[in-house]
Amino acid sequence: MVMSKFNLNQNDRVNLKVKLPSFDSLLDITDDNELRTFRNHLRPILIVYATHLKGVYKGTNFQAVGMDGNNQIVPIAYGICRGETGDCWSWWMSVLKECAGDNPNMVIISDRHPSIALSKLMEADPTRWSRAHCPRTRYNYRTSNSAESLNSCTVRWRKLPVTMLTDTYRDMVQKWYFNRRKVAADKVEKRKRKSVRWVVYGINQFQYQVSDGQYNREVNLRTNECECRKWQLSGIPCGHVIAVTRFLGLTDCVQYVQDWFKKEKYQATYAESIQFVGNFNEWEFPSHIHPVAPPNMDNP
């Protein structure tokens, strides 16, 4: 087994793992800027998926994406492997563990979840697995739709050779980092309008009862919890919290929004730059890197 790691520039790392003599290969490319962005400024969500390559050499393209505070897709890492097998998925998850580090609050969403766990979950009581009863924060995201969106953006490139494919991904992410701007927190504004007639009763300095015309909900500002659980699950104040801030005479509820959704975090998400990696035929490889024969990729 040969494991090689070399730098394209100061921010990009390529890991190439070649198994001789079958020439099965695993390739992952990560950008240090994207990793710092994920670790420091994004919600700890990783959405993972795999899609088939369509070029001369078949294989599987693995992707991992995150979500910024405006619910826009932020690619984190991508890799290429011989097929969508258990060994390849294990390798890809080990790559992501190295990228993301150990985080007990990490949420991983996969398009394979239904086939992995659905039948077993259906046998259990919903209080054991449903989002509404989840004791941890799910960050208001529960599908792999963003990964599918990225998949649709890149479908026309999957016939390219691997070197051109990786450079195309880098071009795309570079443009996204440069062009994105914050749209607005429409959700908070809608909740402000919806809660304008709700009635608030004080219980003590931190606890309040809010009547929304249908239910009475308790809001606890000390523990950052509301009985409706929307605040805990999304990180964005629900209408009950907004009603309490209005009752307290506060001009806004920004102090009750989790950091991932704040302007400073959003701006910091795209403060990094995705660097140009130069022309492939001009790359300088370490002397111990030797050419290998075309990989033995599975043909899906």
| Six token digits for residue 130 | 């449903």
**What digits encode the pLDDT tens for the residues 64-82?**
888 877 777 888 888 888 7
What is the distance between the alpha carbons of residues 292 and 77, in angstroms, rounded to a whole number?
Answer: 24
Using pLDDT thresholds of 50, 70 and 90, give the confidence band for residue 203.
very high
At residue 1, the pLDDT reads 29
**What digits encode the pLDDT tens for the residues 253-264?**
888 887 777 667
| Six token digits for residue 268 | 């910091």
Q: What is the 3-state secondary structure (H, E, C) of the chain?
A: CEEEEEECCCCEEEEEEEECCCCEEEEEEEEHHHHHHHHHHCCCEEEEEEEECCCCCCCEEEEEEEECCCCCEEEEEEEEECCCCHHHHHHHHHHHHHHHCCCCCCEEEECCHHHHHHHHHHHCCHHHCCHHHCCCCCCCCCCCHHHHHHHHHHHHHCCCCHHHHHHHHHHHHHHHHHHCCCCCCHHHHHHHHHCCCCEEEECCCCEEEEECCCCEEEEECCCCEECCCHHHHHCCCCHHHHHHHHHCCCCCCHHHCCHHHCHHHHHHHCCCCCCCCCCHHHCCCCCCCCCCCCCCCCCC
Question: In this structure, how many other beta carbons lie within 10 angstroms of the beta carbon of residue 127?
Answer: 8
**What digits encode the pLDDT tens for the residues 100-120?**
777 777 888 886 655 566 677
At residue 149, the pLDDT reads 72
At residue 234, the pLDDT reads 78
At residue 284, the pLDDT reads 73
